[in-house]
């Protein structure tokens, strides 16, 4: 059809594996002889039920979810979890600890204040969120209901390289932008959540992994739809789930399995990121935003000597088929989001482009 695909470095919604899009395309009007599209099916039909159950099983297997955890397929985005988490979890003691390491964890901590006492256990604001604080900087409240942090800061390009140690305080983690990119010991967490549109599926699906015993402590005014218990009791089918996104998640899980699962992906993504960071560090006109040791393998934030050069870079890159390299409006600069689905060739090609641009100045 002559429609050239670009290398899309968007921070989200972002690139999906081509193989997944092609399979979804092939099945779009008639899913496996059902005579209809997955978009047109009742979520209670037999054919859709199989898609749901299979996707759930693949997700649990690939992410290594222990039996005492429930996986929920919800709507509302990761942002809804900023409210849903305190509504459901803060009631045990009325207090929660938050690590503030970027934009989304700031919003999450502010939202939680509506529901209880929030203590900022650690913050990287002193250096404009260019680093992840060390464990010994974290000041825990012994009676916190939970400790919340964001594993990968999509806008600032930093990523926690360790799991914070919080003793008996349940860990709650926003993994929206690095879920499925590395193995995670789920048993260390009380709750993990992620919007699907970075590493898993199209926008519209939010995955929540919750240790069963943490549900059922919701505040009295918690809306029915915002109560984890409602969703657990009905296996994410209390109302219509995001059916199409769940189907695509299943296809992405098949693709991920072929990459060697999360362990295979960890090697691939780390190789891609190291290639880009090494080149930027050795360039004449580019600087990385995040400190070494805190750098994200998913969102590489950097900038050229000045704003004009950043703009020139974005313009020329776009013309050459590398899109969405402009940094977030709150930080400026440049950002290459290299999620799981970005092929290694895409990063190699971007490196070549950066090298030439750097030499041409």
Ligand X SMILES: *Cc1c(COP(=O)(O)O)cnc(C)c1O
Show the tokens assigned to 216. Answer: 């059922």
Closest distance to ligand X from the beta carbon of 194 (Å): 8
Residue with tokens 């699907």: 196
Q: Which is nearer to ligand X, 151 or 354 (CB)?
A: 151
Helix segments in the chain, DSSP class H: 18-26, 46-63, 77-89, 103-112, 228-233, 243-258, 261-282, 307-319, 344-360
DSSP-assigned letters across all residues of 275-310:
HHHHHHHH-SSEEESSPTTSB-SSEEEEEESSHHHH
* CB nearer to ligand X: pick between 205 and 279: 205
**At its nearest, how many Å lie between ligand X and the CB of residue 50?**
27
CB of residue 168 to ligand X, shortest distance in Å: 26
189, 173, 170: which is closest to 108 by C-alpha?
Answer: 173
Closest distance to ligand X from the beta carbon of 330 (Å): 13
Nearer to ligand X, 157 or 333 (CB): 157
- Where does this chain bind ligand X (CB under 6 A)? 12, 77-79, 104, 150, 154, 174, 176-177, 195, 198
Residue nearest to ligand X (CB): 77
Minimum distance of ligand X from residue 177's CB (angstroms)? 4
In the numeric block, which tokens belong to residue 344? 């290694």
CB of residue 319 vs ligand X: minimum separation in angstroms?
A: 27
Concatenated DSSP letters of 153-213: ETTTTEE-SSPPP-TTSPEEEE-TTTTTSS---GGG-SEEEEETTTTTSSTT-EEEEEEGG
Residue 88 or 154 having the CB closest to ligand X: 154
Q: Which residue lies nearer to ligand X by CB, 12 or 327?
A: 12
97 strand-pairing partners: 119, 147
Residue 154 CB contacts under 8 Å (≥ 6 apart), including other chains? 11, 12, 102, 103, 104, 176, 177, 198, 296, 298, 299, 337
Smaller CB distance to ligand X: residue 64 or 77? 77
Q: Which is nearer to ligand X, 150 or 248 (CB)?
A: 150
User: What's the closest the beta carbon of residue 104 comes to ligand X, in angstroms?
Assistant: 4
* Minimum gap (Å) between residue 299 Cβ and ligand X: 8
Let me know: does 205 contact 73? Beta carbons within 8 Å.
Answer: yes
- Give the chain's largest Cα–Cα span: 63
The residue (of 111 and 174) whose beta carbon lies closer to ligand X is: 174
């Amino acid at each position: 059809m002559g429609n050239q695909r670009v290398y899309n470095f968007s921070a989200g919604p972002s690139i999906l594996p081509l193989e997944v899009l092609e399979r979804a395309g092939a099945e779009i009007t008639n899913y496996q002889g059902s005579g209809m599209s997955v978009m047109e099916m009742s979520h209670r039909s037999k054919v859709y039920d199989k898609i749901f159950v299979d996707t759930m099983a693949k997700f649990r297997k690939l992410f290594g979810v222990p039996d005492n955890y429930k996986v929920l397929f919800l709507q509302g985005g990761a942002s809804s979890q900023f409210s849903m988490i305190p509504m459901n979890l803060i009631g045990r003691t009325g207090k929660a600890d938050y690590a503030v390491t970027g934009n989304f964890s700031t919003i999450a901590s502010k939202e939680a204040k509506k529901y209880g006492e929030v203590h900022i256990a650690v913050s990287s604001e002193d250096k404009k969120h260019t680093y992840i604080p060390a464990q010994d900087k974290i000041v825990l409240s012994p009676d916190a209901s939970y400790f919340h942090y964001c594993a990968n800061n999509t806008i600032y390009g930093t990523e926690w390289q360790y799991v914070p140690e919080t003793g008996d305080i349940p860990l709650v983690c926003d993994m929206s932008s690095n879920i499925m990119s590395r193995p995670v010991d789920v048993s260390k967490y009380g709750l993990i959540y992620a919007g699907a549109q970075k590493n898993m599926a199209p926008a519209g699906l939010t995955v929540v992994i919750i240790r069963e015993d943490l549900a059922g402590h919701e505040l009295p005014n918690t809306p029915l739809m915002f109560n984890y218990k409602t969703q657990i009791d009905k296996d994410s089918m209390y109302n219509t789930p995001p059916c199409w996104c769940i189907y695509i998640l299943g296809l992405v899980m098949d693709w991920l399995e072929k990459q060697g699962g999360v362990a295979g992906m960890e090697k691939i993504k780390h190789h891609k990121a190291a290639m880009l960071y090494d080149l930027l560090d050795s360039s004449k006109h580019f600087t990385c935003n995040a400190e070494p040791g805190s750098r994200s393998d998913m969102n590489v934030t950097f900038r050229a000597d000045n704003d004009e050069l950043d703009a020139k870079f974005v313009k020329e890159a776009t013309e050459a088929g590398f899109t969405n390299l402009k940094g977030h409006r709150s930080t400026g600069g440049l950002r290459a989001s290299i999620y799981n689905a970005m092929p290694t060739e895409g990063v190699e090609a971007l490196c070549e482009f950066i090298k030439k641009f750097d030499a041409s100045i």
